Amino acid sequence: MGKGKRIYDLVPSVALSVVLIVLNVLRIIRIPITIDETGYVPTEGYWETMYKKYPSANNHILHSLFRKFFIETFNDGVFFYRIDLLIAQLAFYVFSYKLMQQLFKSGWMVFAGFASLALVSPWVFEFWGLSRGYGWGLMSMVGSIYLMVRYFEQAKLRTLMLSISLAALSVYSNFSFLNVYGGIIASFLIVCILLSTNETKRPGIIKQLLAIALPTAVLALLIVKPLMMVQSGGELNFLGAKGFKNDTVTSVLKCALYKSNESGIFPWVVRLTYYGTLVFSLFWIYALVQRQKFTYLLTELRTGVFLHLLLIMPFLAQVAQFHLLHINYLIDRAAMFFLLLYVIQLVYFFYFLHLAYSKNIQWAIGVVTLLLGGFFFSHVNLNRTFLWWYEEDDLKVLEKMASLTPPNSGKQRIWLDWQFVPAFTYDVIHFYPNRFSIIDNSRTLPIGDTSFQFLYIRPEDIPNVAPCYEKVGEYCGGGAFKLYAKKK
């Protein structure tokens, strides 16, 4: 590709990346810490972080190690809980751009494909600024896909090993990416069997299998024990058991579209997504059966089949795990990688149709980009997160409590709804030390308990509030939670 053409995709891609990184920094600074981000344990060493003695699906190991480094090198402010995700975000944009450049070889389509991934959903964007491992997983997944597509073209063994290594890194970021890891390997092997060509001299099968086996062996040494701990502790029981469509597809789309319910046209969106995938599958099967018609597009056909298999293989893995191993279906954030895999295969599907049938179909890629971009910029929020929306006003609640508490009056006891305890504990230590005492509690406010100065509760707990309390505030979306203070 000439320099003149490349400028059409590089400059806007860099500009969009800068805008999104700035937005992410603002989110990192503005959004209070959330319940699932509070897993840092100062007394744990790096080895204990890698091989925890207690089961927790919230220990996203790679991120936990980075978080520990930044906190202990700088300080334990919320920015350093999340700063490593900025690195993952930047690397994600680099790999996304390189992937689209590898796929399209055309200026505006490279940018359109890049923008489709970067703007796939404001919900996905949130995880570039939260102390969780999903961002590292998505970055590693896209990097692995890019290198695998490149390997099909260049056939360098080092590229294959790097691709598998990045896929393994995604698993170390979050165990849900095991489905992606297996999918990448299975898709690669299937494509090699069905669409092997002599256009490039490839390494022997033994060398290719070794390039896959070595990263796999290292990954196994790192995750077998932690994964067994997570499973034995019942952490996987929080996932779904209604089926792939009702659990995985529905929950991912609800989050991606910022839907709190399934009303309106949402059921049709689910059906369109689900059955649209079936149409794509039928097309690629047809293209494989009739590949003599596409001999001039054999490289593109191989890439298209590979990208579609990347979407199908994790689905088949989920179904098999549920029926054979009794592991429930992934839901919402644990399954967000499906959203990116869907977008990648969708834009490439249109690109293949453009090459095979009509030049006009390529504009469908632009339509996808405009729809995703329009939704993203109309819904991106710098003050809250979708899944932890109830944490938005945490600091405002504490500020209100502080304003109602005389100076030097000692620690004021607070009863909190259970899900606020971790985040409020962090906030009190960092912003209001020696002002409040957070009481770890049952999930229901004790009837008539008057031992607390403040109560921060759900509306359903109001009947249990003793008469000596008065409501002093409503928070989170106009009153989802109520703040009560003891009358003076």
Q: Tell me the CA distances in angstroms from 250 to 247, 273, 281, 352, one per residue in order.
A: 6, 10, 20, 28
pLDDT at 131 over 80: yes
Q: Residue 455 contacts by C-beta under 8 Å, 6 or more apart in sequence?
A: 414, 415, 445, 461, 465, 469, 482, 483, 484, 485
Which one, of 155, 128, 154, lies nearest residue 27 by Cα?
A: 128
Task: Report, as an integer, the average pLDDT of 55-70.
Answer: 87
**Chosen CATH of 393-486 out of 3.40.50, 1.10.3720, 3.40.190, 2.60.40:** 3.40.190
Give the whole-angstrom CA distance, residue 414 versus residue 405: 12
Q: Tell me the CA distances in angstroms from 315 to 173, 293, 319, one per residue in order.
A: 20, 29, 6
Q: Quick check: helix, strand or coil at residue 17?
A: helix
Which residue carries 């039928």 as its tokens?
282
pLDDT confidence of residue 362: 84
The amino acid sitting at 242 is K
pLDDT confidence of residue 234: 63
pLDDT confidence of residue 326: 85
Answer whether 184's CB lies under 8 Å from 164's CB.
yes
pLDDT at 413 over 70: yes
**pTM for the full predicted model:** 0.94
Average pLDDT, the chain: 91
Task: Report, as an integer, the average pLDDT of 151-158.
Answer: 90
Q: Mind listing the pLDDT tens digit for each residue in 419-448?
A: 899 999 999 999 999 899 987 666 778 888
Q: Quick check: helix, strand or coil at residue 40?
A: coil
Give the whole-angstrom CA distance, residue 411 versus residue 171: 43
Answer whether 475's CB lies under 8 Å from 481's CB.
yes
Q: Residue 200 contacts by C-beta under 8 Å, 6 or more apart in sequence?
A: 153, 154, 155
Tokens found for residue 441: 């509690």
Per-residue pLDDT band for 197 (boundaries 50, 70, 90) equals low
Q: Mind listing the pLDDT tens digit for each residue in 211-251?
A: 999 999 999 999 998 888 877 766 666 677 788 998 999 99
DSSP 411: P
Task: Report, as an integer, the average pLDDT of 87-109.
Answer: 94
pLDDT confidence of residue 105: 81
Task: Report, as an integer, the average pLDDT of 163-191.
Answer: 96
Which one, of 476, 404, 398, 464, lies nearest residue 437 by Cα?
A: 398
pLDDT confidence of residue 102: 95
Range(s) within the chain of domains with CATH label 3.40.190: 393-486
Task: Report, as an integer, the average pLDDT of 251-268.
Answer: 91
pLDDT confidence of residue 6: 66
